[in-house]
Amino acid sequence: MGMKFGLLMMLKSMETIKQIFLWLLVVLAPIDLMHAQVIIGDTSTSLATVLDVNAQNSSGGFGGFLMPVVTEAQQALIPVSMSDNSDDGLMVYVSDPLTGKRCWEVYDAYAQAWRSIYCPSECNDILFTENFQSYLADTGVTGLSSSNGDYPAGVSKWTLTSFDSFGSNTPALPGLLIDANDYGLVQGGELVIKDTNGAFRFETQNINITGYTNIVVSMDLRESGPLEYDVALHTTDFNCGNTQSDYIDIEISTDGGSSFIEVPNFSTYGNANHTIADNFSGTIAFNLSSITGTSLVIRVRTQNWADDEYFYIDNIVVRCN
């Protein structure tokens, strides 16, 4: 009896092993191990392919390939390697309801930047752009001089100003900038802002947006040196953490500069009082909808307090959405 039972169990085990083996054959049959190819939904492919996905599914219908979909904030959190080129060619589709951006993008590891391959849009009009590439080095203002490089005579797209004292909103130059080490200057194709000792402002020219009701504003921002901020010291944007608090504020006007609205707490990097009040490096973008005005002005107000603290502004773009 014991022998029969043992034999029966052996036969059942062999049957189970056979079923597993057959299942593996079905699953692995489309995979050409010799050529490291993966074929899904078919049995053969070109020798040039590594992955071949048939559009027809098992039910007879058809489908497509859906790559990872992220918002711009989520894209900024992707831990691409900064030490080698192992992530070169990494792809995502950016679909951001907040900024309006919809782009198929690939990571360029050599430039350490995301590149747009295709961005479907009903409108591709570029209304304003500034990449700071066309100016002499050190164009801008310092605590010693309000006329450097091409500024101000050779600059028509923007202006720079400090303010006459801490807590004041009255523009003045040199204002709170004390010496040559306190400045807003174009360096290396970026606007670099250093040790402003209070509020300092970059402001664009009036940008014609006549006929456009939806636009997207984007720019690249980054900093070096740790940002510090004490919310308890905030009274106003011009009286905020004397000698301590650092921040970036972005303000938008759609009525030619008569009134401005501040962009608050971008992607949780700021707070109710400031657009950014924490360490940040990336693209900031936002959508303006149902616009009734005809003239757009962008302001970037910054504040930092030390010789080793810098803000960088680059690639400002205004486009229709």
The pTM is what?
0.66
3 confidence band (pLDDT: 50, 70, 90): very low
Least confident of 19-23, 112-116, 169-173, 273-277: 19-23
- Residue 34 vs residue 149, higher pLDDT: 149
Q: What is the pLDDT of residues 27-85, one digit of tens each?
A: 444 544 445 677 777 777 887 888 888 888 778 888 888 889 999 999 999 999 999 99
User: What was the pLDDT predicted at 260?
Assistant: 97
Residue 8: pLDDT over 50: no
SS3 category, 244 = coil
Neighbour-count burial for 117-147, b at 16+ CB within 10 Å, e otherwise: eeeeeeeeeebbebebeebeebbbbbbeebe
- Residue 32 vs residue 182, higher pLDDT: 182
Residue 282: pLDDT over 70: yes
